[in-house]
Amino acid sequence: MRTFDFSPLYRSAVGFDRMTSLLDAAQKNTAADSYPPYNIVKTGEDAYQISVAVAGFGPQDLDVEVRDGQLVIIGKGANENDDVNFLHRGIARRAFERRFQLADHVEVKAADLKDGLLVIDLVREIPEAMKPRKIEIQTVTSVIEDQTAKAA
């Protein structure tokens, strides 16, 4: 795989350090980062859902938190008896930490564990001050009419 050096961007771009860090982190993703498997689904105009396959994990084995603009999912590995003699072990209950970078104004609304899937609902809620608003265009005649009406 080809790698890119983003350090020249750090020298010439001001205020874009978060973007270059995201590009750098995306480039470093490898096949080793594929555990546990997950899906990301857009469920509405500003709604998303992340499903993580966590077979064998219970609610006490999982931590979901948001910190520094990232959704962090931590699975604590199993402390199973060493005297168990597996003939085949296909369910890996190893510890993991999965991170998802969240865009601005994306908030976690709920996390549910059902049928071996950890389902996390996210919503983008843009503050009213940042939403587009319509500005009424006045003509010169309407301004004059308003001033004459006030004078009378």
Q: Among 11-20, 57-66, 72-81, 132-141, whose mean pLDDT is lowest?
A: 11-20
Task: Give the range of the structural domain holding residue 54, as residue numbers without chain letter.
Answer: 35-151
Q: What is the pTM of this model?
A: 0.67
Name the token pair of 24.
């750098």
Question: pLDDT for 32-54, tens place per residue?
Answer: 567 899 999 999 999 999 999 99
Phi and psi at 80, nearest 5°, equal -95, 160
Is the predicted pLDDT of residue 28 greater than 70, yes or no? no
| Domain identity same for 16 and 71 | no
Of 34, 39, 80, 72, nearest to 56 by C-alpha is 80
CATH number at residue 98: 2.60.40.790
* Segment 69-118, tens digit of pLDDT: 899 999 997 666 667 888 888 877 889 999 998 988 899 999 999 999 99
Which amino acid is residue 24, in one-letter code?
D
Tokens 């603009």 label which residue?
69
Rounded Cα distance, 6 and 78, in Å: 39
The count of domains in the chain is 2
Domain identity same for 52 and 70: yes
